[in-house]
Amino acid sequence: MVSTSLPGGTWTLGDLPVTRFGYGAMQLAGPWVMGPPADHGGAIAVLRAAVELGITHIDTSEAYGPHVTNQLIREALHPYPDSLHIVTKVGANRDQQGGWPPARDPESLRRSVHENLETLGLDVLDLVNLRLGDAAGPQPGSVAEAFETLVGLQQQGLIRHLGVSNATPEQVAEAQAIAPIVCVQNMYNLAHRQDDELIDALAQQGIAYVPFFPLGGFSPLQSSVLSTVAARLEAAPMSVALAWLLRRSPNILLIPGTSSTTHLRENIAGAALRLSDDDLAELDKIGR
């Protein structure tokens, strides 16, 4: 096990040790995740700062930009340190309007895995999440054909580990019946608690839960309870939201996004905030 001074310590994704405090690179691609980036130099700087600060888990996708986020990661960090694990996802394309149409047929998935390898400059992808559902959230339906396609690419040696994203609990179970997964990446934060049961079930199985939009995504988390607790602790609401996630369950890995090295440092410091049982009970009311 590697040691880290980052809040939350470490977790092992399959056989890959990562810091529980990771970094989500999506919004570096530009406004509404369509290139070009708003600040190219700033994006490179924040990626390098993340690694310098000890983060060993970066979340991305070929769909971000499209291509832009992966290209920024490669420009900033290649050749990658051995300790760094880049997690990507496949299963959605981008359209002219910036939408995210599903692309989960076998040919699209194969193409996307090869594009990720190329833009990131890798021979093997550490972890690939199959992104399900749509922009409205998880949608029911079988994942078998798509997940089996990724298992085939894993057997070819192009992928180390698999996960699912934007998935219903039934789809998580269906994927697990086909092959092991090491993580589930779904929307979850203080105000969106729909996956509480799933998180606990995954924790018992030693599988990571990686909440996307941990800070609310494109609309920052806002809650009077959160503001009250943050004011009492003399902390930023974002700090409380991240510290709460780390406390919520040991299998939760953070991938907050930011385009600012100042915010990155604030978030790392903030996630270390100690929350009392009273704070937790009060925060618990937000999403229930």
Ligand X SMILES: NC(=O)c1ccc[n+]([C@@H]2O[C@H](COP(=O)([O-])OP(=O)(O)OC[C@H]3O[C@@H](n4cnc5c(N)ncnc54)[C@H](OP(=O)(O)O)[C@@H]3O)[C@@H](O)[C@H]2O)c1
**Quick check: is 64 catalytic?**
yes
Q: Are 112 and 103 in contact (CB under 8 A)?
A: yes
Instruction: Report the residue number, 166 or 251, with the smaller CB distance to ligand X.
Output: 166
Binding of ligand X at residue 183 (CB under 6 A)? no
Candidate residues 167, 216, 229, 244; the one interacting with ligand X per rule CB under 6 A:
216
Segment interacting with ligand X (CB under 6 A) among 36-44, 78-86, 145-153, 258-266: 258-266
Instruction: Report the residue number, 241 or 281, with the smaller CB distance to ligand X.
Output: 241
Binding of ligand X at residue 59 (CB under 6 A)? yes
Which residue minimizes CB distance to ligand X? Answer: 257
Q: Are 67 and 119 in contact (CB under 8 A)?
A: yes
9: phi then psi, degrees, rounded to nearest 5 = 75, -145
Segment interacting with ligand X (CB under 6 A) among 109-117, 175-183, 213-221, 275-283: 213-221
Binding of ligand X at residue 9 (CB under 6 A)? no
Binding of ligand X at residue 31 (CB under 6 A)? no
Give me the sign of the Cα torsion angle 246, 252, 258, 264: positive
Binding of ligand X at residue 244 (CB under 6 A)? no
User: Of these residues, 23, 64, 188, 209, which one is catalytic?
Assistant: 64
From CA 186, how far away is CA 178, in angstroms rounded?
20
Binding of ligand X at residue 223 (CB under 6 A)? no
Segment interacting with ligand X (CB under 6 A) among 109-117, 150-158, 250-258, 271-279: 250-258
Buried b (16+ CB within 10 A) or exposed e, 40-54: eeebbbbbebbbebe
Tell me the closest approach of the beta carbon of residue 141 to ligand X, in angstroms. Answer: 16
Segment interacting with ligand X (CB under 6 A) among 108-116, 140-148, 173-181, 206-214: 206-214
User: Which residues does the annotation mark as catalytic?
Assistant: 64
Judged by the rule CB under 6 A, the positions of this chain that interact with ligand X are: 24-27, 59, 89, 131, 165-166, 185, 212-217, 220, 238, 255-260, 263, 266-267
